[in-house]
Structure 1
Amino acid sequence: MAGQLTDRYVEAKRIAMAAMDVDVSARAALIEEHVGGDAELEREVRWMLEAIERTHTATLPFSPSHVLPDLSGQQAQATAPRNYRILRLLGEGGMGMVYLAERCNEGFSQQVALKFLSASAQGSPILHERFSQERRLLARLEHPGIARLLDGGVMDDGQPFLAMEYVEGRRIDEWCEAHALSLNERIVLFLKVCDAVEFAHRNLVIHRDIKPANILVTADGMPKLLDFGIARLIEEGGQVLATATAAHALTLAYASPEQIEQQPLTTGADVYSLGVVLYQLIAGRRPYQHLITPHLLSNAIVGGQVEAPSRSLRAAPAGLRRSRRSIPADVDAIVLKALRRQVSQRYASVAEFAQDLRHYLAQRPVKARRGRQWYRFRRYVQRNRWPLAAATMVLAAVFAGLAASLLALAQTRAAQRLAEQRQHDLERMVDFQQSTLQSVDIDAMGHALTDDERTLVLARFDALGGKPAERRQLEQAFAGIAASGPARDALDTYVVSHALARLDRDFADAPLLAADIRQSLARVLLTIGSYAHAAVELRNVVAVRAQHLRNDDRMLVSARVDLGEALYRGGRLDQAAEAYESALPAAAALPPADPLQVAALSGRARVLAAQGHLSQALNRQEALYAGLAPRLPATDEGLLRLRRDRVETLTQLGERDRARVELEYLVPLYRQVFGVEHPETLATTLTLARLLYSQDNEYERSLALAQSVAAIRERRLGADHPLTLQARALAASNEVRLALDPATMEQVHARLETIIQGYRRVLGPGNPQTLEAMTDMVRLLSKQDRYPEAIAMERQILAGRNRTLGPDHVSTLYARGSLASLLCENGQYAEAGRQGQQVLDALRRQLGDDHPMTLATYDLVGRIEAGAGDWALARDAHGRALEGRARTLGNTDAHTIESASRLYVVLRKLHDVAAAQRVAMTYLQPVIAMNPDDLNAGMRSVRDEALEAISR
């Protein structure tokens, strides 16, 4: 009922204001048009028009007559409530008018602020209720920082009034400027305001309209909080009790996002408004002050992208900058935490907000910065090629810095009084060490090392009188060495591993400190591609934290998530699933959209997809994205990673149109947000290249994208980094498809052999990525008609996938299908038929009849039956493949034309000329009529196959 009253009041006010803008003679027609026959609404509108007119003719709302009052107070004295004498008007707002009055009673007088409902509000039950609510709330609040309620009641004519403490002072922002307060002095003054707001919260009152105009500072420097006109009581759950009078009552520039969106409010709304006030006090301007329209301002507040006060101050006029000097990073962090878009990410209370400010004043670490997982230096190492001396100096400096940080951490235990400050500083140092190690240019350092070794060896060779031919062989041997290998080994063995050994020796009595640094070093190992070593160290971190911390501790969850990622990258999927599962219960209890929660949930879904549970993985990814998208900006890194994971799952499920639309949007977005060479941008570009290769046969474009990613990764990570090998392998896959002449095939064969050896050396022979590269080699061998070698290698691949992924995994079934195809090409039709039918049955059961892999397997069975001479069974299988591909992919898709060509040949063998002609007219002739110069390599190959089929 209260909500209906509010809606009717707002609608009536809108119509009444519109009517006031037209001539009196036209008002009746306008009202009749807008109320639409609603008699109650019409009465409300006409009452409001009369009230507005009364307001323009009656200066004081409490006067019983329409005669203008004597502002000296002589006439008002007889009709005002109690014994108040009106002196002057102080101000008026949306529902009330406030006068300075003098209370005279038995020989004493007192100045008060006397508040009445305005004439336009007197007939509204909603605003009467709000006025009464303000009186009830003020009665609860006795605090030196809150203007007190002195008196209140109802006049003889039924009109309510409030008599409040009269505060003679200036707005807090004006007072600070007038007294030229320093930054710390402004914060001290602001803390007094926080005390008043916190007192109100303890008494279950939320203000909802905190702004400088409602904070007056008296001559003695005491701030007073005013105007609880739209304040509300807080229920036990922490949310504001819903009332009809709450609708749209706010000051936009200081309103929180949840107020603008009309969501249930908590004390977090006052925390946000206090953050805006503090921002204005220290920067001289509000956030978003440059936005002049309500629409733009509302969008900016809801968007939550707040510029730091220090940056805002730098953009201010020179005079203002001189008066403020600079704003420290700690204060920036405190203000920005109070202004977080999500309530759960702000300070939990005003007391916590104030405590962080007091920590800053006392030069102690502030929670706002530690909550970001250590302060971060934004410094990076130059990525140009290093000479050997520079590389040696960097390694020595990194090691020395890391050793110094370990030693300093040990010394903090002996200085209890400075422990917290030292911990704060040392966290920054260790984080810097991690960032420095992660940013080392592995390839450049490796070239510096190998070039020096080459120079020394060749010089020694020449001194011993070596022959020129032998020298050329020696130079070729040096050229074949992967430069990044020695550098990565040096970084792992002589820096990271050495530091880990020091941890075990020097921090045996401080296991949690050692675990923090061990996790930091494990992340370095992940960056340089030492996945197995990183997993070992992260298991140690999990074990230590599980022994000393609660199972729901954030640091333990973080270690388990990192372990899951290391195991996933290393191809140990079952173990990765266990690590993520152990993190999920505690991660699920974190606030929604917490980065650690997102990492745990999305990581588990990613492993599910890699294990072949595609539908289950997609369901989790869709649900997680639906929950995160409204809470996070579109450019959030965790959200973007989730979207890429979802694309990869869609691709494997055969939903290529959805996947491609999403990727064509994501790739430019990644490039815009992170830059062309950012690791996440490169990963997304490679995902697009993989889709173009596997689904659309766009081998040229896929090859170009894969080669560009490979070049950047080789330059930044080294030639044998797993991520570089991944990009080079996809490029080789495209080259296998495009290779036509023997010379090109031999070149591709050599590149593939190098990639396979690199995978075996870095990830192991049974890793899924190693087996994937071997699959491309099998395809190349078959193109070279080397079927015995191809069949032998495919059997190795099938055994490896059976062992690591299980017999029903999609990748295992793909390998079995590939083996069936090779056997067919080699004339071994009986075994080929058994293998092909086994794959078809499993795919129909797991993915359905219309999945691209299922339809491709129907086509494979057709080829096997045709090879064995059973033309009727071949017709049925090819016909099923063609019908499914035409329906799901279209008549002109390369896969559809491929099936049509094969079915056409079979129908001719069966002498079914009419059916063969229908296939030719529907599918083959349209593609034959295409200009081959306008087609990509995949489509040209399909067109050639159609021409060959027709010409038989």
Structure 2
Amino acid sequence: MQAGERIADRYELTYPVGRGGMGQVWAGFDERLDRPVAIKFLRQLDVPEEERETAGKRFRREARATARLDHPGVPAVHDLGVHGEDLYLVMQLVPGIVLADHIAEQERLPVGEAASVAVQVCSVLMAAHAASLVHRDLKPQNIMITPSGVVKVLDFGVAALLGPAEASRLTATGRTLGTPAYIAPEQAQGGPVGPAADLYALGCIFFEMLGGNPPYEAANAPDLMRRHIDSPIPIITEYRSDVPEDLAHLIYCLLAKDPAERPGSAGEVRQLVAPFLDGDSPVPAAARTDHRSASASPLIAPFSVPPQQSQQNVGQLRAQARELAENERFVQAAEVLERALRLVPHGRGELLSTEVMALRVDLASLLMLAGDFRQARHAFQSLASDLAQSDGKQDLAEECRQQAIACQFELGESIDATGAVSIR
């Protein structure tokens, strides 16, 4: 796979975002519907020949399992197909930060933030379990936090149907599916796996969010799985004293060896965790790196390159954006112009230069054409404010103000008696 490659004469690959033992994930663009997507590939040649049929079935099962879950905490599935020798799955591209990375950066999360993540994961598990699906591989690497603070649960690749289908689950002979640091004792022993296994994994994740490390650690996978089965349950307050006793008791119950001794459902866990939400924003700072914020100059991010190279790249990107816009690929064209803006000097004087203003006006217009009226409004408002301070550009400032008002109308929000846009 390489950037620029086209899949099904519709999806253009832009950059790789992850790779596993038997596949890889690319960010891409849906040219037909003008939207960014994630494209997950199962590379058949990377799969042992004797496992290819099983791996292919599991990959298709992931697509169907995820598509069944109509929930804001699960990425939407758009398409499934074959590209050469490889299977591919097209999904919603989720921005933000992986929970595993956030824990690594922060070491220990505030109790309220950890509770927010847990409550949202519980909501996803409630939907999954109601649809007779068990995730079976819940872990911080499979949880994303978006810039708006929404938690997304990824990778239902080993999800198994409950009931009779469990007896014929799609596993390679002798292989236990799941990740050792978060695997339930019954799953580690190869026994029947139900919703309680997901709750155990959630307990491990909750423990790690608060304590900085999973509840059990070992030098190798077999020893780690034995610790889940035989070792005493750790108590989070012995690692962190500010965890409320009721919450510590809940985590202890989630880590019970016997599935019957864990809470009865994800809904029950959500109800028990809810009192520990602190009302503050649960959005980690690292997940807020959305350059389309409503700040003074929302679309400029620092980027240092030699002036000659900068000029050349900006010109190439503007030409690329123009071509994309002519083909009505407005979202993709806007993303290209955002990259161009990162390449120009971003001091106060440069922000008012003719070249930069032209880029910013074009970008605001593209956002409007793409139907992203909220971001277009912010961009036009920022332009109007900056242009009002520049001699000879009052007409353009007024035009930007009017475009901001037009966006406000499209959003169905109010405008005050002076004609100014009222932000909500």
Partner of 1:213: 141
> Does the Cα contact within 8 Å between 1:232 and 1:241 map onto a contact in 2?
no
Q: Work out the CA distance in 1 between the residues paired with 2:128 and 2:150.
A: 17
Question: What secondary structure, in the 3-state scheme, does the structure 1 residue paired with 2:16 have?
Answer: strand
> Does the Cα contact within 8 Å between 1:330 and 1:360 map onto a contact in 2?
no
What letter matches 1:112 in structure 2? V
More strand by share: 2
> Does the Cα contact within 8 Å between 2:140 and 2:205 map onto a contact in 1?
yes
Q: Work out the CA distance in 1 between the residues paired with 2:13 and 2:236.
A: 43
Gaps of 5+ in 1: 1-59, 61-70, 314-324, 363-952
The reply to whether residue 356 of structure 1 matches residue 295 of structure 2 is: no
Pairing partner for 2:150 from 213, 217, 222: 222
Query: How far does residue 245 in structure 1 lie from its aligned partner after superposition?
Result: 2.3
Aligned Cα root-mean-square deviation (Å): 2.3
Partner of 2:317: none
Partner of 2:223: 296
What letter matches 2:150 in structure 1? M
The reply to whether residue 161 of structure 1 matches residue 85 of structure 2 is: no
> Does the Cα contact within 8 Å between 1:257 and 1:301 map onto a contact in 2?
yes
Query: How far does residue 180 in structure 1 lie from its aligned partner after superposition?
Result: 8.1
> Does the Cα contact within 8 Å between 1:84 and 1:102 map onto a contact in 2?
yes
Q: Work out the CA distance in 2 between the residues paired with 1:81 and 1:212.
A: 32
Pairs within 5 Å for 1:377-776: none
Question: What secondary structure, in the 3-state scheme, does the structure 2 residue paired with 1:144 have?
Answer: coil
Pairing partner for 2:203 from 253, 266, 275: 275
Q: Work out the CA distance in 2 between the residues paired with 1:178 and 1:207.
A: 26
Query: How far does residue 356 in structure 1 lie from its aligned partner after superposition?
Result: 1.7
The reply to whether residue 242 of structure 1 matches residue 168 of structure 2 is: yes
Q: Work out the CA distance in 2 between the residues paired with 1:173 and 1:116.
A: 22
The reply to whether residue 101 of structure 1 matches residue 28 of structure 2 is: yes
Partner of 2:16: 89
Query: How far does residue 178 in structure 1 lie from its aligned partner after superposition?
Result: 5.3
Pairs within 5 Å for 1:248-327: 248-289=176-217, 291-313=218-240, 326-327=242-243
Q: Work out the CA distance in 2 between the residues paired with 1:162 and 1:211.
A: 21
Question: What secondary structure, in the 3-state scheme, does the structure 2 residue paired with 1:114 have?
Answer: strand
Partner of 1:198: 126
Query: How far does residue 144 in structure 1 lie from its aligned partner after superposition?
Result: 0.6
Question: What secondary structure, in the 3-state scheme, does the structure 2 residue paired with 1:240 have?
Answer: helix
Q: Which has the higher contact order (CA 8 A, sep 6+)?
A: 2
Q: Work out the CA distance in 2 between the residues paired with 1:340 and 1:230.
A: 23
> Does the Cα contact within 8 Å between 2:11 and 2:28 map onto a contact in 1?
yes
Question: What secondary structure, in the 3-state scheme, does the structure 1 residue paired with 2:41 have?
Answer: strand
Query: How far does residue 100 in structure 1 lie from its aligned partner after superposition?
Result: 1.2
> Does the Cα contact within 8 Å between 1:172 and 1:223 map onto a contact in 2?
no
What letter matches 1:160 in structure 2? L
Partner of 1:147: 75
- 1:93–1:174 CA distance, 2 compared to 1 (3 A): closer
Deviations 1:802-821, CA, capped at 9 Å, x for gaps: xxxxxxxxxxxxxxxxxxxx
Deviations 1:482-533, CA, capped at 9 Å, x for gaps: xxxxxxxxxxxxxxxxxxxxxxxxxxxxxxxxxxxxxxxxxxxxxxxxxxxx
Deviations 1:780-830, CA, capped at 9 Å, x for gaps: xxxxxxxxxxxxxxxxxxxxxxxxxxxxxxxxxxxxxxxxxxxxxxxxxxx
Query: How far does residue 181 in structure 1 lie from its aligned partner after superposition?
Result: 5.2
Q: Work out the CA distance in 1 between the residues paired with 2:64 and 2:109.
A: 36
The reply to whether residue 186 of structure 1 matches residue 114 of structure 2 is: yes
- 1:103–1:179 CA distance, 2 compared to 1 (3 A): farther
Q: Work out the CA distance in 2 between the residues paired with 1:112 and 1:336.
A: 39
Pairing partner for 2:261 from 342, 345, 348: 345
Deviations 1:557-600, CA, capped at 9 Å, x for gaps: xxxxxxxxxxxxxxxxxxxxxxxxxxxxxxxxxxxxxxxxxxxx
More helix by share: 1
Question: What secondary structure, in the 3-state scheme, does the structure 2 residue paired with 1:145 have?
Answer: coil
Deviations 1:280-307, CA, capped at 9 Å, x for gaps: 1111211123x22223212210114121
Deviations 1:710-736, CA, capped at 9 Å, x for gaps: xxxxxxxxxxxxxxxxxxxxxxxxxxx
- 1:304–1:81 CA distance, 2 compared to 1 (3 A): farther
> Does the Cα contact within 8 Å between 2:111 and 2:276 map onto a contact in 1?
no
The reply to whether residue 136 of structure 1 matches residue 64 of structure 2 is: yes
What letter matches 1:144 in structure 2? P
Partner of 1:334: 250
The reply to whether residue 120 of structure 1 matches residue 46 of structure 2 is: yes
TM-score, normalized by length of structure 2? 0.60
Q: Work out the CA distance in 2 between the residues paired with 1:122 and 1:167.
A: 30
Between structure 1 and structure 2, the one with the greater Rg is 1
Q: Work out the CA distance in 2 between the residues paired with 1:280 and 1:268.
A: 19
Q: Work out the CA distance in 1 between the residues paired with 2:28 and 2:178.
A: 27
What letter matches 1:186 in structure 2? A
Query: How far does residue 309 in structure 1 lie from its aligned partner after superposition?
Result: 0.7
Pairing partner for 1:110 from 3, 16, 35: 35
- 1:327–1:249 CA distance, 2 compared to 1 (3 A): same
TM-score, normalized by length of structure 1? 0.27
Deviations 1:651-702, CA, capped at 9 Å, x for gaps: xxxxxxxxxxxxxxxxxxxxxxxxxxxxxxxxxxxxxxxxxxxxxxxxxxxx
Q: Work out the CA distance in 1 between the residues paired with 2:109 and 2:61.
A: 37
> Does the Cα contact within 8 Å between 1:104 and 1:110 map onto a contact in 2?
yes
Question: What secondary structure, in the 3-state scheme, does the structure 1 residue paired with 2:156 have?
Answer: coil
What letter matches 1:220 in structure 2? S
Query: How far does residue 189 in structure 1 lie from its aligned partner after superposition?
Result: 2.7
Q: Work out the CA distance in 1 between the residues paired with 2:244 and 2:144.
A: 27
Query: How far does residue 82 in structure 1 lie from its aligned partner after superposition?
Result: 3.9
Q: Work out the CA distance in 2 between the residues paired with 1:88 and 1:198.
A: 34
Q: Work out the CA distance in 2 between the residues paired with 1:343 and 1:178.
A: 31
Q: Work out the CA distance in 1 between the residues paired with 2:42 and 2:228.
A: 31
Gaps of 5+ in 2: 279-424
Q: Work out the CA distance in 1 between the residues paired with 2:101 and 2:88.
A: 30
Work out the percentage of aligned pairs sharing the same amino acid.
29
Query: How far does residue 122 in structure 1 lie from its aligned partner after superposition?
Result: 8.0
Using the TM superposition, name which of 199-208 and 168-177 deviates more. Answer: 168-177
Partner of 2:300: none
Deviations 1:419-456, CA, capped at 9 Å, x for gaps: xxxxxxxxxxxxxxxxxxxxxxxxxxxxxxxxxxxxxx
What letter matches 2:80 in structure 1? G
What letter matches 2:141 in structure 1? A
Regions of 4+ moved over 6 Å: none
- 1:158–1:294 CA distance, 2 compared to 1 (3 A): closer
> Does the Cα contact within 8 Å between 1:173 and 1:280 map onto a contact in 2?
no
> Does the Cα contact within 8 Å between 1:129 and 1:245 map onto a contact in 2?
no
